[in-house]
């Protein structure tokens, strides 16, 4: 137990209501419907006394519920020398159903409670890592996150020591920390308002970060974009006096010759603010449109994490960054534009701008000949209509999309594979261009956007489009390790995908025909 710890954070399971004999395998002290998860840190006498106090405080072990009690003081029964003065418990639910996501959420909930606690703790110790080091560390760090931004109020998160009974390695700890920091990197960018996070500033910050991590960065400014034919990015950005950018990041490990893992191309939507343009959005909640670059933040964070983790694969990230504003220079409904690669779009709605910038970025990324392409974006409000606020929609090549969605669920970033609809081929037809950027009907709006994007993906390239409007920005209340506002989704999905690709020696499924 570290001397400086002012509190000890323990897990508490909810015991079955019948209060019978504890299962033979369980050595956990049990009383009043709860089981103390880690008796090892406490003497039997102390555990008993603590349990009594927890019972009196009405602790149930419900997932994420937090309670603080005083540890038995000197002279009281159960006093244990060297124990911090405060015991804080967090509910872990049923012992049987504790998986890594449940642990991550509970660790997040107690860390979040501590950062908001009126009694500010400077340092705490926890045994939560007994149940899984990586999940406990990830949940703790993500739950401690605060973006106070520009408020005159200091952030407070106590230091923490994980005192697990010998489980887990230094390597596992560091990987979990890098993973959490990648999520936090994305959260900070998304939470930063658009008057600070505008295309040039955002691109410069990414290039600066890349340089520090040994990631190659190319930044195309408006002049370069014009020269290279990025008509979608330019059309969306032209209403703003803040000029657009495309950033291309590339991580290639040092001993690259021996690389056998498939090549991954990530693509992200980076609209630093989306007013809708001439097809102006209503004022209500428009301030949330600072989050419209969340896809690009996640795609950048994933490449930086690959570098920090020294992942043995080649991964690029192509980020289409623009501010969508109405003005005398803005693109009009009815305009026709030419994308990178030559495909033309008739712009029906200037608020369907994400797909216009992504079309360029996808076509550009495909030229680098990746084995897989994954694009993510806050693309449609229809994502929330279809799947709610916590589940991303994944579309693209059926098999690969299903894999990406499954990886999301494995890491606690819920995602579900959705189809492309053949009727949308018709709906995407324009009489004067190759495509129109919006359908006449709102039906299946998330899926229509995916059909539009599919036209920029080569037929032989397995790809997935991850629509993250709800999951990337929490407009409700904080829960588990998920704060209000930016969540950093789907950074952990991307990291897990890259780790899986490193273990594969060829495209895991072989090139798959596009749907």
What amino acid positions are annotated as catalytic residues? 281, 355
Footprint of ligand BES on residues 424-443 (CB under 6 A)?
438
Nearer to Zn ion, 110 or 358 (CB): 358
Nearer to ligand BES, 245 or 436 (CB): 436
**Residue range at the interface with ligand BES (CB under 6 A); choices 376-384, 392-400, 428-436, 493-501:** 376-384
Q: Could you say which of ligand BES, Mn ion, Zn ion, none residue 32 binds, taking C-beta under 5 to 8 angstroms by partner kind?
A: none
Q: Which of 60, 80, 344, 349 binds ligand BES (CB under 6 A)?
A: 349
Kindly state the tokens that stand for 330.
């803005």
* Residue in 213, 178, 315 with CA at minimum distance from that of residue 256: 315
Does the protein bind Mn ion through residue 467 (CB under 5 A)? no
* Min CB(246)–Zn ion separation in Å: 16
Per-residue binder mask for Mn ion (CB under 5 A), 333-362, x = binder = ------------------x-x---------
* Residue in 301, 310, 10 with CA at minimum distance from that of residue 174: 310
Footprint of Zn ion on residues 244-273 (CB under 5 A)?
271
What are the residues whose beta carbons fall under 8 Å from the beta carbon of 379, sequence distance 6 or more? Answer: 269, 295, 354, 355, 358, 446, 449, 465, 467, 469
**Residue range at the interface with ligand BES (CB under 6 A); choices 67-75, 164-172, 189-197, 374-382:** 374-382
In b/e form, how buried is each residue of 301-315, taking b as 16+ CB within 10 angstroms? Answer: bbbbbbbbbebbbbb
* Residue in 126, 139, 66, 67 with CA at minimum distance from that of residue 99: 139
Instruction: Tell me how far CA of residue 344 lies from CA of 163, 226, 434, 435, 472, in angstroms.
Output: 59, 15, 5, 6, 30
Place of tokens 């999301």: 408
* Min CB(6)–Zn ion separation in Å: 45
Distance CA 224, CA 222 (A): 5
Distance CA 288, CA 389 (A): 14
* Min CB(467)–ligand BES separation in Å: 9
* Min CB(270)–Mn ion separation in Å: 13
Strands 392-396 and 473-474: unpaired
Per-residue binder mask for Zn ion (CB under 5 A), 341-360, x = binder = -------------x------
C-alpha Rg value of the chain to the nearest Å: 25
| Cα atoms found within 13 Å of the Cα of residue 260, Cβ hemisphere only | 5
Does the protein bind Mn ion through residue 323 (CB under 5 A)? no
Footprint of Mn ion on residues 248-277 (CB under 5 A)?
274
Does the protein bind Mn ion through residue 243 (CB under 5 A)? no
Q: Which of 179, 380, 397, 489 binds ligand BES (CB under 6 A)?
A: 380
Distance CA 511, CA 23 (A): 50
**Residue range at the interface with ligand BES (CB under 6 A); choices 89-97, 149-157, 349-357, 389-397:** 349-357
| Cα atoms found within 13 Å of the Cα of residue 357, Cβ hemisphere only | 38
Size of the site for ligand BES (CB under 6 A): 14
H or E segment to which residue 295 belongs: helix 294-308
Nearer to ligand BES, 326 or 354 (CB): 354
Nearer to Mn ion, 95 or 290 (CB): 290
Binding residues for Mn ion (CB under 5 A): 274, 351, 353
Binding residues for ligand BES (CB under 6 A): 274, 292, 349, 351-354, 378, 380-382, 438, 445, 469
Binding residues for Zn ion (CB under 5 A): 271, 274, 292, 354
């Amino acid at each position: 137990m570290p001397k400086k710890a002012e509190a000890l954070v323990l897990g508490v399971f909810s015991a079955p209501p019948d209060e019978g004999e504890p299962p033979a395998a369980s050595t956990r002290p049990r009383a009043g419907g709860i089981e103390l998860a880690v008796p090892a840190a406490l003497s039997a006498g102390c555990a008993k006394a603590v349990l009594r106090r927890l019972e009196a405080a009405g602790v149930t072990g419900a997932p994420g519920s937090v309670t603080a009690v005083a540890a038995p003081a000197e002279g009281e029964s159960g006093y244990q020398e060297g124990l911090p003065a405060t015991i804080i418990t967090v509910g872990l639910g049923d012992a049987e159903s504790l998986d890594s996501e449940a642990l991550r959420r509970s660790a997040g909930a107690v860390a979040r409670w501590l950062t908001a606690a009126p009694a500010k703790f400077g340092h705490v110790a926890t045994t939560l890592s007994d149940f899984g080091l990586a999940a406990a560390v990830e949940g703790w760090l993500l739950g401690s996150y605060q973006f106070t931004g520009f408020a005159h109020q200091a952030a407070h998160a106590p230091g923490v020591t994980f005192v697990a009974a010998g489980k887990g390695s230094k390597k596992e700890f560091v990987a979990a920390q890098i993973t959490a920091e990648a999520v936090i990197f994305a959260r900070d960018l998304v939470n930063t308002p658009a008057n600070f996070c505008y295309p040039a500033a955002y691109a410069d910050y990414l290039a600066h970060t890349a340089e520090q991590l040994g990631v190659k960065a190319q930044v195309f400014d408006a002049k370069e974009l014009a020269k290279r034919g990025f008509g979608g990015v330019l059309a969306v950005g032209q209403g703003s006096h803040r000029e657009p950018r495309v950033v291309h990041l590339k991580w290639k490990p040092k001993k690259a010759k021996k690389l056998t893992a498939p090549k991954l191309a990530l693509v992200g939507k980076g609209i630093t603010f989306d007013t809708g343009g001439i097809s102006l959005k209503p004022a209500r909640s428009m301030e949330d449109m600072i989050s419209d670059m969340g896809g690009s933040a996640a795609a950048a964070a994933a490449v930086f994490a690959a570098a920090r983790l020294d992942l043995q694969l080649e991964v690029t990230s192509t980020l289409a960054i623009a501010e969508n504003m109405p003005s005398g220079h803005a693109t009009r409904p009815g305009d026709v534009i030419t994308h990178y690669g030559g495909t033309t779009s008739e712009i029906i709605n200037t608020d369907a701008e994400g797909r216009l910038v992504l079309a360029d970025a996808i076509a550009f990324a495909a030229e680098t000949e990746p084995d897989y392409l994954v694009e993510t974006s806050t693309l449609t409000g229809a994502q929330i209509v279809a799947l709610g606020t916590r589940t991303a929609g994944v579309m693209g090549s059926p098999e690969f999309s299903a894999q990406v969605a499954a990886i999301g669920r494995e890491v606690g970033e819920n995602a579900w594979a959705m189809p492309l609809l053949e009727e949308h081929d018709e709906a995407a037809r324009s009489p004067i261009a190759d495509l129109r950027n919006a359908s006449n009907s709102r039906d299946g709006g998330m899926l229509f956007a995916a059909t539009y994007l599919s036209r920029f993906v080569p037929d032989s390239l397995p790809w997935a489009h991850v629509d993250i409007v709800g999951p990337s920005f929490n407009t409700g209340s904080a829960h588990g390790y998920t704060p209000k506002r930016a969540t950093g989704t789907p950074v952990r999905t991307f990291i897990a995908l890259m780790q899986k690709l490193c273990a594969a020696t060829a495209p895991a499924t072989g090139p798959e025909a596009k749907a």
